[in-house]
Amino acid sequence: MLKLGVNIDHVATVREARYRGRGQGEPDPVQAARLCEAAGAHGITAHLREDRRHIQDRDVWKLREVVRTRLNLEMANAPEIVDIALRLQPNIVCLVPERRQEVTTEGGLAAAGHMPALTATRQRMNDAGIEVSLFIAPDAVQVEAAARIGSQFIELHTGAFAERFGQPAERDRELERLVAAARQARGLGLQVNAGHGLNYQNLPLLHQVPHLVELNIGHSIISRAVTVGLGAAVQEMLKLMEGYAG
Query: pLDDT for 49-84, tens place per residue?
Result: 999 999 999 999 999 999 999 999 999 999 999 999
Q: Point out the catalytic residue in the list 37, 74, 131, 155.
A: 74
Q: Minimum mean pLDDT among 13-22, 169-178, 224-233: which range?
A: 13-22
Q: What are phi and psi of 180, to 5 degrees?
A: -65, -40
Average pLDDT over residues 172-199: 98
What Å distances lie between residue 111 and 86, 133, 172, CA to CA? 21, 11, 25
Q: Quickly state the pLDDT bin for 106 (edges 50, 70, 90).
A: low
Write out the E strands in 48-199: 71-75, 92-95, 131-136, 153-157, 191-195
* 189 C-beta neighbours (distance < 10 Å), count: 8
How much of the chain, in percent, has pLDDT values that exceed 90? 93
Which pLDDT band, with edges at 50, 70 and 90, does 99 fall under? low
Place 246 in a pLDDT band, splitting at 50, 70 and 90: confident
- Give the C-alpha separation, 14 to 30, whole Å: 13
According to CATH, the topology of domain 3-241 is TIM Barrel (3.20.20)
Lowest mean pLDDT among 77-81, 107-111, 228-232: 107-111
Collapse the DSSP code of 245 into the 3-class scheme (helix H, G, I; strand E, B; otherwise coil) and give the result.
Answer: coil
Mean pLDDT of 200-206: 98
Residue of 10, 37, 42, 47 with catalytic role: 47
Catalytic residue among 10, 131, 196, 214: 196
10-41 confidence digits (pLDDT tens): 999 999 999 998 878 999 999 999 999 999 99
- What pLDDT was estimated at residue 107? 72
For residue 235, give the 3-state DSSP assignment: helix
Give the residues across from 43 on adjacent strands. Answer: 5
pLDDT of residue 98: 74
Q: Supply the mean pLDDT for the chain.
A: 95
**Is 74 a residue of the active site?**
yes
Q: Report the alpha-carbon distance of residue 44 to residue 70 in Å, rounded.
A: 6
pLDDT at 232 over 50: yes
Nearest to 76 by CA among 123, 118, 45: 118
Give, in order, the Cα–Cα distances in Å from 1 to each of 16, 106, 135, 152.
35, 28, 21, 19
47 as an active site residue: the answer is yes
N- to C-terminal Cα distance for the chain?
A: 8
Res. 225 pLDDT band, cuts 50 70 90? very high
Q: Establish whether 98 is a catalytic residue.
A: no
pLDDT of residue 102: 47
Radius of gyration of the chain (CA): 17
| pTM for this entry | 0.95
Range with lowest mean pLDDT among 14-23, 25-34, 218-227, 228-237: 14-23
Look at residues 41, 44, 73, 37 and name the one whose alpha carbon lies nearest to residue 57: 73
